[in-house]
Structures are given as structure tokens and as C-alpha cells.
Structure 1
Amino acid sequence: MLNLFPKLLCYIKTSPRIIRTSCSQRALPVLTLFTKDPCPLCEEAKEMLELYKHRFVLQEVDITLPENSVWYDRYKYDIPVFHLNGQFLMMHQVNTKVLEKRLAKSEREPV
């Protein structure tokens, strides 16, 4: 009986937002921001992401920390750098067309 409960939620007549939240089994993609402190360009980039923040989980990686030395060596001259689900996405600034395209692709992938 407990296994049927999530499926029953899908059939409850309520607002579409609640149904979408209750029935969704898809985890949001992870958008990783490689950054450092201070990074004014990173702050600008995060502001540009505000419109999309409901479509991903933002994870920030401070490349100046000792445990992130590999990322520091790779991106010290290029931040902000973004990866989506572990794959390179963009650098230097937010490209909304690239972001939109990759988020849409991620949303279409099977659960």
C-alpha cells in the first residue's frame, strides 16, 4: 500500500504546481560554479542565473582551497567557469542560450 501512495498523489485534483512537485521524481541538475573570493565576475554571473535558479542546484567550488588545486591549475585565469552535471558548460560569463539549451536537454532526459 505504501508503494502506491506517490502514484495516488499524481491523481489528486489540485493545483498543477502541487501535482508537479508531488509527482516529480527527477532530481534537479547540478550547476557547478568554479569561483574564488573575491570574484566580481562570478557575482555578476550569479545575478544572471537568478531567472533560472528553480531549474538547477547551484554548487560553488572555491578553487583557492588546497583540496581544489586541480581546479585552480585548470581555471585560475578563466573564472567564472560552469559545469552542468559534471560536464563543462561555459566560462567567463553566463551564456543564456547555452544554459537554456543544456537545461532543456537535461529536463528531457529519462528519469
Structure 2
Amino acid sequence: MFFLKSRPAALQLLRLFSSHSLPTLTLFTKDPCPLCDDAKEELEPLKHRFVLQQVDITLPENSVWWDRYRYDIPVFHLNGRFVMKHRVDAILLEKLLTDAETQTR
């Protein structure tokens, strides 16, 4: 048994051993962010269809994202592409996840 020091490393390892790689939904957030907390609750029914990666835009290494999104969080990217901001559009996300699943088959 071994332990990984970071969540991204764990996700990469999980993907290596997964025969079907899930899309990555990136949430640009900060702490506190009540709107982000609400958005994460809205994602619950779909959480088995993606890997959620959270980026804290207040960290120094994320200053590019701070400059871009400080007035717009929560912001979501799917597989590196912007898809929505301010709130979860469940219908759009469902369609994009279905499209991503179709592309990986």
C-alpha cells in the first residue's frame, strides 16, 4: 500500500488504471464561496460521470485564473474548455457529458 501526496497525483493514477477515463470538470473557486457550495450540491446527481477538480483562484500559482475569474466564480471547464459560470446549467452539462462519453467509446 502507498499514499499519494496530492489529489491530482491520485487522479492521474486512477486514470492510468481505468479502462474508461472520465471527463474532468474543473471548478474555479475560492474559500469561502457560498455560490460554489451551491453549485457543488447541484452537481451531486451527475458526480459519477466526471472527475471534479477544484482550483482555488486565490493561491499565488493561480493568479492567471484570479485575474480572469475573480468576479465570476463559480466557473466551470470541462476537459479544459470553458462551459459555464455563476451557476450550474444541468441540462448543458448533461449534454456535454453525453458527448464526451460518446467520443471516448
TM-score (ref. length: structure 1): 0.77
Matched residues in 1 for 2:104 and 2:82: separation? 21
Residue in 1 that maps onto 2:104: 110
Query: Which residue does the alignment assign to 2:57?
Result: 63
Amino acid across the alignment from 1:77? Y
Q: Percent identity?
A: 68
State TM-score, norm by structure 2. 0.81
**Count of residues in Structure 1 that have an aligned counterpart in Structure 2:** 88
Amino acid paired to 2:95: K
Q: Aligned partners of 1:55, 1:73: CA distance in 2, in Å? A: 30
Larger of the two Rg values belongs to structure:
1
Q: Does 1:87 align with 2:81?
A: yes
Q: Structure 2: which 5+ residue stretches go unaligned?
A: 1-17
Moved over 3 A (4+): none
Query: Where does residue 8 of structure 1 map in the other structure?
Result: none
Give the structure 1 partner of residue 13 of structure 2: none
Bigger relative contact order, structure 1 or 2, given CA contacts below 8 A and separation 6+?
2
For 1:30, the equivalent position in structure 2 comes to 24
| Alpha-carbon distance, 1:25 to partner | 1.9
